[in-house]
Amino acid sequence: MHEDRDAGAPERGGDEEGLKVSRASLLRGAMAAGVALPAMGLLAACGSSDDEGSTGTSGGSGGSGEAYAGALAMTAWEAYPDQIRANLAAFSKQYGNRVDLTLIPNIGYGPALQTRLQGGQEIDAYYNFAYNSTKFVDAGWAKELNDLPGVEEMLDDMFETSAARHKLPDGRIVSVPYFSAVHLPMYNAAQLRRAGFARPAQSLSEIYDQCEKLKADGVRAPYAAYWTKQFSEEYFILYLVAEGIVPFDEEGNPTFQDDAKTEGVLDWWTSMYQDGLTARSILTDDPGKHVAAMAQGTSTYFTLHHYFLKEIRNARGPASSDVVLDYRIPGENGQSLQIGEVVQLGAAAEGGRADAAWELLKFYGWKDKDGRYGTFVSWAESAALLGPYPGLFQDPQFRRAFPDYYDLGQLERAFEASQVVPARVLPWYSSFQTKVGDRIQAMLLGQASVKDTISSLADDAKNFAAAG
């Protein structure tokens, strides 16, 4: 055996020599490839940089006022992606800057964006939730917009209430609008008529009474609302505002607990759920399911953003055409809550690139170069969304975008009269928002009393505000 091996040794040795060479070659080859590939990438990057540089000044080196003709980076969530692309193409056409769009799915957008910004990704403009906007400025991920050309004009052009979403009580301007909407009740007029009601409910107790009758008449879950954990806070504030309760003072301190009517709101909420006037599954039902319930006629009332009427009508269910909007939220003063998300200016860009990014924000959140509310008109056409500008409501193209089942005059008045609740953009507010979901759902399930829930919520708000 050994002899056999030894006899074969020189030959194997020869093979191994060959192998040695090939190993070395392989390693050398791999090293060479390892060096060459990034270098090629670098060269390619240099090439593309040159291409861009040929048409303008690099953002990093140019001072403010120097034109930047390179690409801008924008990040958005995946709502109407084709329309986003069309809007950005329109921007490129007017201003000459290409915009590289990154889309992130709606679910998980916040964490994904946060992670990217924390990791140092350079984004010139990005969608954000209004409640995160101040936090992102404080973190250094978004720029304050004060003193940028046209920003004050933009705020002056807005409805007075809407400006509070973008300009903080301390004077800092943190964002521009992406879209706006207003909470309104949608109801099935035919079902109400059949139940003997001449008009939709105007107070919380009237909703209860009507729903009780509708339930007895066979409507499975008369009242639909988006009462999930994440969304409970928005309803909480909406119902408070409609009752004329001031939820927070100007400094952002909670005041809802001092108003006796708050207890009435939560009592009503609890009764609606516990007495079976909502779907039992309402704590986890998403808007799609409520839209289907309205279109099918298994719910009579649905309170959410005004644009959901379009979805109910487009669903073409047997009851879709019976559903109409009431332009007043049931409650003592009937005011609604205005909502809207925002676009923020990334903190990384400097000089000409930052100027170009600001132009993009103005284009996206206000007017285009021709002075038209082009982006907002496109959102109206796509999804019946609003913008916070009175002038927009006069735009003929914008008006045409709304189907005739919307009374645009009434919608404008409801929007104008609606409140923003400035505390909702303070840096600690998203933490409070999460707690509201926990506490309200526990209350609805009978695990906490209304009184305890109110006092716990007030404590939560104070604690989060104190912690910053």
Partner 1 sequence: MPPQADTAAAAGRTATASSPRPSKPARTRAQKRSRRAAADRRFGLYLALPALVVVLGLIAWPAIQTLIYSLQRVALNGDTRWVGFRNFELLFKNPDFIHSLWLTAVYAIAFLVVSTGLGLAFALLLNEQFRGRFLARTLLIVPWACPWVIAGIIWKWFADGDVGALNGALYQLGVIDEYKAWLSSDTGALIISVLAAAWRQASFAALLFLAGLQTIPHELPEAAKVDGATAWQRFRLITLPWLKPVIVVVIVINVIFGFMQFDVIYALTQGGPGNATEVLSIFLYQQLFVYTNVGMGSAVAVVLGVVALLIGLLFVKLLYRSGDVTEGVS
CB of 453 to partner 1, least distance (A): 11
Candidate residues 284, 314, 394, 463; the one interacting with partner 1 per rule CB under 8 A: 284
CB of 9 to partner 1, least distance (A): 7
- With 0-12 / 13-18 / 19 or more C-beta atoms within 10 angstroms meaning exposed / middle / buried, residue 176 is buried
Residues 406 to 445 in contact with partner 1, rule: CB under 8 A = 430-431, 433-434, 437-439, 441-442, 444-445
User: Is residue 346 within 8 Å of residue 139, measured between CB atoms?
Assistant: no
User: Is residue 351 within 8 Å of residue 59, measured between CB atoms?
Assistant: yes
**Cβ closest to partner 1, residue 28 vs residue 400:** 28
- Residue 283 as a binder of partner 1 (CB under 8 A): the answer is yes
CB of 131 to partner 1, least distance (A): 10
Q: How are beta strands 176-188 and 338-345 bridged, if at all?
A: antiparallel
Candidate residues 62, 70, 104, 135; the one interacting with partner 1 per rule CB under 8 A: 135
At which residue do the structure tokens 């409650």 appear?
331
Q: How far apart are CA 232 and CA 234, in angstroms?
A: 5
Stretch touching partner 1 by CB under 8 A, among 72-80, 169-177, 238-246, 278-286: 278-286
DSSP string, 266-280: HHHHHHHHHTTSB-G
CB of 107 to partner 1, least distance (A): 8
**Cβ closest to partner 1, residue 191 vs residue 433:** 433
At which residue do the structure tokens 């950005």 appear?
88
Coil, strand or helix: which one is 197? coil
Neighbours of 261 (CB within 10 A): 15
CA–centroid distance for 27 within its chain: 51
Give the CA radius of gyration of the chain: 29
- Residue 203 as a binder of partner 1 (CB under 8 A): the answer is no
CB of 448 to partner 1, least distance (A): 8
- Residue 20 as a binder of partner 1 (CB under 8 A): the answer is yes
The Cα-based distances of 73 to 124, 128, 150, 275 in angstroms read: 5, 15, 22, 51
x/- track of binding to partner 1 for residues 205-234 (CB under 8 A): ---------------xx------xxx----
Could you tell me which residues are beta bridge partners of residue 126? Answer: 75, 344
268: closest CA among 246, 239, 294, 245? Answer: 239
CB of 431 to partner 1, least distance (A): 5
CB of 167 to partner 1, least distance (A): 22
Binding-residue total with partner 1 (CB under 8 A)? 44
User: Is residue 384 within 8 Å of residue 309, measured between CB atoms?
Assistant: yes
CB of 7 to partner 1, least distance (A): 13
462: closest CA among 324, 255, 312, 315? Answer: 255
**Cβ closest to partner 1, residue 258 vs residue 286:** 286
177: closest CA among 351, 418, 438, 362? Answer: 362
- Residue 282 as a binder of partner 1 (CB under 8 A): the answer is yes
HSE at residue 124, side-chain half, CA atoms within 13 A, is 28
Stretch touching partner 1 by CB under 8 A, among 106-114, 353-361, 396-404, 415-423: 106-114
User: Is residue 110 within 8 Å of residue 129, measured between CB atoms?
Assistant: yes
CB of 144 to partner 1, least distance (A): 14
Residues 138 to 197 in contact with partner 1, rule: CB under 8 A = 138-141
Stretch touching partner 1 by CB under 8 A, among 39-47, 95-103, 104-112, 416-424: 104-112
Judged by the rule CB under 8 A, the positions of this chain that interact with partner 1 are 2, 5-6, 9, 16, 20, 23, 27, 107, 110-111, 114, 118, 135, 138-141, 220-221, 228-230, 279-284, 289, 293, 298, 430-431, 433-434, 437-439, 441-442, 444-445, 447
